[in-house]
């Protein structure tokens, strides 16, 4: 069974980060070992209140990795997302260099913002550190806001395919890493992603029916499905299409069931669709 390190916050209310990553990868037959970066009472799309909890877990991350080293724990991959403090990047860079071996897959989702704006906990220093961590990845999965931050460009909510392809190539750092750029809408009623696979050196696009609404945590759902498919040996374009299809279905199902997009997509009843065909 594949075993990976999942580095994200745990948000108690609202579906995102570890509360999405762990069930999704488990459904795909992958054992995800959690390295939580922070505990939040609710994710940051909800308005803060005097009782909001944001517990920075940087010290516990360092101790946890030291414990795992004592246990000689070895992993097939690494998936990081929402990070809580700049010091966490250095801890993760050390973790990556310790775990790397043949066949290891390091995916950094450079979670920093959405809709053209950074999330409220992301300072410019944290964004710079995220770019440094992402330089160690085999694959990054930015949305359009994060791509603009990484490239130091203006945010463009609907780039033409040629512009998206140019950004994908630039984000690959001269073909050293693969890239999935999410949140791309190529026609008025579809939404999806573009990918650049470093092995093939080619850009491809994937689209699925658009569900109207701003859904929290769908980037985490997307990255989890794509990562699970890659670990199962699928190609980057196939993994990208599978993630686009699953997120579209979960978002449309949420609207049909009258769910509130800020609480995330109703993906749980659909997880059976991701189960591996062979065990
Ligand atoms: O889905 C990205 C994400 C992860 N973790 C937390 C968030 C968000 C986006 O809002 O607030 C805590």
Q: Does 279 reside within a domain?
A: no
Q: Does any ligand 1 atom lie closer than 6 A to the CB of residue 44?
A: yes
Residue nearest to atom 1 of ligand 1 (CA): 217
CA distances from 170 to 8, 77, 153, 178, 180 (A): 26, 24, 12, 11, 12
Q: Does 154 reside within a domain?
A: yes
271 CA to centre of ligand 1 in angstroms: 21
Q: Does any ligand 1 atom lie closer than 6 A to the CB of residue 119?
A: yes
8 CA to centre of ligand 1 in angstroms: 9
11 CA to centre of ligand 1 in angstroms: 8
Residues 6+ apart with CB under 8 A from 233: none
Q: Does 44 reside within a domain?
A: yes
Q: What pLDDT is stored for residue 278 in this prediction?
A: 78
Q: Using CA atoms, how far apart are residues 271 and 24, in angstroms rounded to an integer? A: 7
Structure tokens at 55: 């517990």
Range of the domain at 112: 2-268
Q: What is the CATH number of the domain that holds 8?
A: 3.40.1190.20
Q: What pLDDT is stored for residue 49 in this prediction?
A: 94
Q: Does 107 reside within a domain?
A: yes
Question: Which of 231, 246, 241 has its CA nearest to residue 276?
Answer: 231
Q: Does any ligand 1 atom lie closer than 6 A to the CB of residue 246?
A: no
Structure tokens at 236: 């980057």
The residues facing 204 across adjacent strands are 195
Residue nearest to atom 6 of ligand 1 (CA): 43
Q: Specify the DSSP element, H or E, that contains 236.
A: helix 236-256
Domain count of the fold of the chain: 1
Measure the CA angle with vertex 226, ends 221 and 227; round to 5°.
Answer: 100
Structure tokens at 160: 């033409």
Atom of ligand 1 nearest to the CA of 216: 1
Residue with tokens 């029916």: 209
Q: Using CA atoms, how far apart are residues 30 and 269, in angstroms rounded to an integer? A: 18
42 CA to centre of ligand 1 in angstroms: 9
pLDDT along the chain (279 residues), means of 10: 97 97 98 98 94 97 98 98 95 97 97 94 95 98 98 97 98 98 96 97 98 95 98 98 98 96 96 91
Question: Which of 245, 216, 240 has its CA nearest to residue 168?
Answer: 240
Choose the residue to mutate in 216, 251, 262, 264 for probing ligand 1, maximizing ligand atoms within 8 Å of C-beta. Answer: 216
Q: Does any ligand 1 atom lie closer than 6 A to the CB of residue 45?
A: yes
Q: What pLDDT is stored for residue 130 in this prediction?
A: 97
Q: Does any ligand 1 atom lie closer than 6 A to the CB of residue 9?
A: yes
Give me the half-sphere count of Cα atoms (radius 13 Å) on the Cβ side of residue 200.
Answer: 10
Q: Does 222 reside within a domain?
A: yes
CB atoms within 10 A of CB 121: 17
Q: Does 248 reside within a domain?
A: yes
Q: Does 209 reside within a domain?
A: yes
169 CA to centre of ligand 1 in angstroms: 26
CB 89 within 8 A of CB 130: yes
Q: Does 273 reside within a domain?
A: no
Q: Does any ligand 1 atom lie closer than 6 A to the CB of residue 220?
A: yes
Q: What pLDDT is stored for residue 237 in this prediction?
A: 98
């Amino acid at each position: 069974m594949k075993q990976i390190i999942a580095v994200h916050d745990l948000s108690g209310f609202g579906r995102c980060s570890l509360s999405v990553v762990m069930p999704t990868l488990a459904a795909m037959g992958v054992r995800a070992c959690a390295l939580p970066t922070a505990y939040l009472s609710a994710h940051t799309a909800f308005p803060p209140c005097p009782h909001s909890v944001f517990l920075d877990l940087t010290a516990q991350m360092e101790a946890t990795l030291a414990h795992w080293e004592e246990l000689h724990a070895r992993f097939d991959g690494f998936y990081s997302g929402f990070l809580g403090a700049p010091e966490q990047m250095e801890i993760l860079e050390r973790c990556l260099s310790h775990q790397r071996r043949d066949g290891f897959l390091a995916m950094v989702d450079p979670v920093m913002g959405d809709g053209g704006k950074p999330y409220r906990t992301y300072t410019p220093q944290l964004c710079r550190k995220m770019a440094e961590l992402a330089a160690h990845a085999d694959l990054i999965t930015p949305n359009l806001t994060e791509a603009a931050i990484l490239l130091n460009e203006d945010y463009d909510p609907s780039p033409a395919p040629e512009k998206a392809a140019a950004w994908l190539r630039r984000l690959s750092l001269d073909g050293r890493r693969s890239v999935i750029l999410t949140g791309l809408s190529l026609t008025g009623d579809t939404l999806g992603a573009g990918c650049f696979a470093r092995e093939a050196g080619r850009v491809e696009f994937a689209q699925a029916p658009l569900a109207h609404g701003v859904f929290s945590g769908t980037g985490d759902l997307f990255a989890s499905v794509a990562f699970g498919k890659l670990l199962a040996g699928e190609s980057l374009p196939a993994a990208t299409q599978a993630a686009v299809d699953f997120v579209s279905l979960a978002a449309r199902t949420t609207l049909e069931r009258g769910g509130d997009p800020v609480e995330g997509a109703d993906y749980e009843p659909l997880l059976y669709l991701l189960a591996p065909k062979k065990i």
